[in-house]
Amino acid sequence: KISSFKIFNRNGRLVFQSGNFYANDISKGWNGKFNGADQPAGAYVYSVEFICANNQPVIKNGNILLLR
């Protein structure tokens, strides 16, 4: 289960946030928009916290590339 999923732009602004969903629920993913506007192609930073099968929380951070 995903506890928290956040995406930040290159300026560190939070452009997407979601949480409390299962990893296979594609409706909870980011559609590349912020406030209804398409975001520019480029690198974005993500932070995701999920709960493993043994109830241990895991936090992962990294980069994603938005392509248009």
The model's pLDDT over 15-61, given as tens digits with 9 standing for 90+, comes to: 999 999 998 999 999 999 999 999 999 999 999 999 998 999 999 99
pLDDT value for 53: 86
Instruction: Report how far residue 11's alpha carbon sits from residue 26's, in angstroms, rounded to the nearest whole number.
Output: 26
**CA-to-CA separations, 43 to 7, 14, 22, 23, 58, in angstroms, rounded:** 10, 13, 25, 22, 23
| Per-residue confidence band for 7, with pLDDT thresholds at 50, 70 and 90 | very high
Query: Is 34 exposed, middle or buried (CB count within 10 Å of its CB: 0-12, 13-18, 19+)?
Result: middle
